[in-house]
Chain A
């Protein structure tokens, strides 16, 4: 197990910049999610670390070794693909043992480690099956066992769960996290699903247009987004209209910051609350969803969203005048960007 260090990586395809001066460190044993919209360069970054794609400039270090010039098969990585990519002509055990055979560990050692890896993913009894005899979730586990059985320095996963349906995906997330903890392997996980990133990772990197816009623990990024993009890509944000700022307690300078509040930080009342920041609003819609409810309101013409326990909300008809309020510490101060 090793840390992975990416320094000043740039990669262009023709005139398009897929990666633009990316520097990021993946700590030893950490679970790191690369999060970003489609086309932001996540796959390219992962494939560059794996060695399927070579950067135009910059350095990559896996453990103590510089690997820019090292081919994939010599980088000692584990990789999991969205399509599972199990070898259709080999049994489950032969699939899992492939990397061990390539490394010539010997038949007995291979058998022992394959059995161990299959037990780890709870498929101990499925070694003799062929891939086409397995369900999607089972193939996923085989692919994971195959990727980690060689004890690689780093595990790379490119949206591995996006082919699974919702319930199975959640199960696999829990499973993946358990196995990652058990094995302690440095893991880099690409996803465009913010919920998945929050569930799994202990660090997040947000990509946009080939650049890392922010990296940190999920809580850091969620509570202190450094850009409007980060604020809206990880979680949702209600932006304070400039006209409404007067009289509010704000954690920053309004010429350099924009301010926002998360939906769950807001409280909805029919009268003006005595303390905290409050703005008058018009209730547009209230969506009941079991324990929680979502309210859509308008503040100075801006659409806002508010999430609260249903029982905490006053009974009010759509169109009523209401107040939205929040504690001043919950205000996000987001640096204004030059562009966008």
Chain B
């Protein structure tokens, strides 16, 4: 099946008449794939999701989910989607089980089916043991998993995951990935997810759109994106304290050279073949290569190339932001 499950054309959201959060994005998601939106803080990921899940009205452009227009047929869209939001939205004062059943009621799922399914889902996300505990007592990872279970109660055809592993430790993150894959296989869902973890996008997504300042700047499978950089990265170091950039640039297949304090970052097609040529060229001029390493490009390089900055920069402020949200939540509970 290659039918388009999500289709967005020129989708735009302007806040307060001036802040363009999402700027004419156009993309489509095919049936059964995991499609990822990758971008830094404030890129417009959540805003895009919120439009697709009918929580926000687009300012301009249109989009459809399973053929239903997100504005004109919003109610049909709501019936076929599941949502796992970026924030913890479960009700703190209710138990995990009560939260799932509340979702079931909102979808109008017959009670008997809902009960059975809720227990199954709790089992799936390993919360059975805690199902009658108030969510207030849950850890971050448990809350995330509960959100996942809530988003699945209506057996959605399309699942939207907004930063599903935000703030989780490495172990829980890996576990969540395996849930997500399992879900996709078990229920044959199409997944739309956002993330700012490159690794996550790389391992999990079939296709990725890199979004920055509300615009999609690259789109493709992870390997397509990497290939688009046009080659591997060779890093070398020489004994002598001279700038040899020009010599390296003269070597065949070399595309770009950056001298970073005597360590040269070289972009080249098929690095394995090019590296010996570089060594040879340098030796001829009397220079000695002391170190050499070869890396295939990662999404990190892709990201750097397209956005001009490393994604990790944003990390710290984001964690601070998350902590603040949780504090707000706690303040209300207490």
**Does A pair with B?**
no
Which residue numbers of B lie inside 8 Å of A, CB to CB?
none
Which residue numbers of A lie inside 8 Å of B, CB to CB?
none
